[in-house]
Structure 1
Amino acid sequence: MDKFATLQTDIQNDAIPTCVCEKTMADKTEKFCLNCGVQLGGGVLQASGLLGGIGQLGLDAWKTAALVTAKKLAAEAGAAQGAIAGKARGMDIVIYHLKGLHIDKLVPDICKKVSSTGDYTRVINFAEIIIQKRGELCGVTNSTLGDATCNQINIGLGTRLRDGSAGLPDNLAVRTVLNGIVEGAKKTDKAVELAESAKVTAEITEQQTALIEAGFNSSITSINASIFAIVVIVLIMVIIYLILRYRRKKKMKKKLQYIKLLDE
């Protein structure tokens, strides 16, 4: 009797199933959630892990190739910038010596003309005009620019020695001096080119590497976010399944109690 006291008395005939194995909508929903959870957990998650792994490998390959390309382009850009900087410094060296030897006083516009060529080695082409102007302005019989200035020019060009004795002939002296200036400029040119090339290459490589790393990390984050979203969906389906399973068992247990008591 105590058992009957704990039971509800308003039992309807349709409240007792004809077969405890008959599937209700809750049962179907429970099975659906279970199947979804199993398929997502066992299949989709594995596929996601596989795709994530493939994606990781693909991104690693892309990153490696991108870094190689970036370094190559950086080296090319560095070499180009280095060449420009080297030639500019070479031109500065040539102009410096033309002024230091007072050649610009023999040929006032020589610095401008050499600069306009864009190639400091072409200063050699001005040998004839220098020789001509030296003979006209600082020759043996005349010193139009003044004795002190002509003496500096002649000693600088090597046509006269410091002790006042004769030096090399004009043609040989002038060309020797100009060749020496060009060779010195070339050495400076090369040194500046290498230094500037290394500097620019390092700067561009650093910038491009940072951009590639940022893009790579962003892609990895996107992949991880997608996998996380799938995991959340699976967990939700499993939770729904567990809730429905608990409710179904509780309801079934109560129905079995009714049937057992009625049979008694």
Structure 2
Amino acid sequence: NKPSITPHTPTTTSRVLSECDIQTSIYDNDPEMRSVKENFDRQASQRFEEYEERMSEQRQKCKEQCEKDIQQIILKDKVQKSLEEKVEKGCLMCACGLGGGVAPVWGLVSGLWYGTWSPYVATTVAKAATDAGVKETIKGLGQIYGLSTLPGVDIPGMVNAGNFQNIMHLIKSVMRVQNNFCTSGLNETNLFCSTEVKMTSPVFTQGVTQSIRETVEVAGRAAKMAEVAEAAEFLPKTTILTNTIIAFIVAIVVIVLVMLIIYLILRYR
């Protein structure tokens, strides 16, 4: 006798979803859809990487610019403090000689002279540095794609002592000029407007931004050089005035001593 095998065939179809069925897409076995998904994932990943690279470069540029601005501010403060200390030492020596010597009134005069001379020197030096920086910024803006050749544009009116190193303000000013002055006629004849038309807007804006950054750096160096030169011109003047006051004090002391000697001779004669 052969053993009989009873088949266990289910009489009903189960509609229960297994974990595998839930997580499996109906397109997983479709080669075309799988290729589309892979292509999309690859392009999305590439774009994210490019975006991250651009943002990283931008952050690095901003960081470098901030460090440069901080160094310029620190250097400017050092020069101003050094000049003020030199003037202060010379004037305090005069004040001490006058105030502690024969005529205290001259100590007051020396102190008043210092009180007016020191701010005057600092203000004059700062103004010379600012004027040089503004002049260099105006020159640099005029060279951006031939901006100075654009009819009606007032470049000096765009720059002043408060914004000649403000990169964002200068960028907005140049782009505002492009929006307001570049008409259909100038787009064909003017260098600045035609350059904007030939380039795409992002490329044009990037070029303007880079040019303004370079202009601001040059203006900062020009302001620094003018500040040092102006300060160097004041140092000899300060020395001459100090020596003049000291000589005058010595003359007064000598006169008083001579008068005192004459008085003593006449008194005990």
Bigger relative contact order, structure 1 or 2 (CA pairs below 8 A, ≥6 apart): 1
- Bigger Rg over Cα: 1
- Scaled by the length of structure 2, what TM-score is found? 0.42
